[in-house]
Chain A
Amino acid sequence: AQSVTQPDIHITVSEGASLELRCNYSYGATPYLFWYVQSPGQGLQLLLKYFSGDTLVQGIKGFEAEFKRSQSSFNLRKPSVHWSDAAEYFCAVGAGSGGYNKLIFGAGTRLAVHP
């Protein structure tokens, strides 16, 4: 069965520090992979997505993610975190067929940023 694991429930970093959020997936076929961010009281916003091609994907707000098939991972990175990046981050894999993708989400990683 398809699944997504985000090993870190909470992460705290200092403003200006680098960030890496981990995501591991289980999926039999070539996955569609996504990272979403959710600010408090808000819906989810798409940060970036991977379907095929270059395994390093650039997203919005200075985020990037790297697809590593051998490790079944899709980790999210940012070189310098801003206080406004404090939010919850969700990794998701697109599963299903028939012209639509059913997204399966990880449990999320809550990011806190210290000044």
Chain B
Amino acid sequence: DVKVTQSSRYLVKRTGEKVFLECVQDMDHENMFWYRQDPGLGLRLIYFSYDVKMKEKGDIPEGYSVSREKKERFSLILESASTNQTSMYLCASTGPEGVGGYTFGSGTRLTVV
């Protein structure tokens, strides 16, 4: 069964900390995405990557950066965590045409205190 794996289900971090969220997919997908999910707002795209070392900003990139050094791994980085970044973070991947739909990870619930 194909999978997108997010390394942590729950994280609690302090304000100002640098936070790394890791995502790994085993489907050899070119495209990977980071979304955050907040009640009443649905999913909002933070960053995406369509190839190794390539990245593009989504709709809400402020306060975030990403890294994609290998095809299977896409990391989301919170340079200096703030309480308004408390959220559910979802990673997803899809193949070259994207038409198969996305495969999502189970999510990481991040709390910044």
Interface residues of A, Cβ cutoff 8 Å to B: 4, 6, 9, 32, 34, 36, 41-46, 49, 51, 90, 94, 96, 98-108
Contacts and interface: CB of A to CB of B under 8 A. Distances in A.
B43 A105 contact: yes
A23 B90 CA distance: 22
Interface residues of B, number: 29
B45 to A, nearest CB: 6
Contact of B31 (A49, A100, A106): A100
Interface of B: 4, 30-31, 33, 35, 40-45, 48, 50, 58, 90, 92, 94, 96-107
Given A6-B42, A100-B98, 8 more contacts: A36-B104, A41-B106, A41-B107, A42-B106, A43-B90, A43-B105, A96-B98, A99-B50
Contacts, number: 72
Contacts of A105: 35, 42-44
Given A34-B101, A44-B104, A49-B101, A90 B96 contact: no
Nearest to A98: B50
B50 A100 contact: yes
A102 B45 contact: yes
Given A9-B40, A43-B107, A106-B42, A100 B90 contact: no
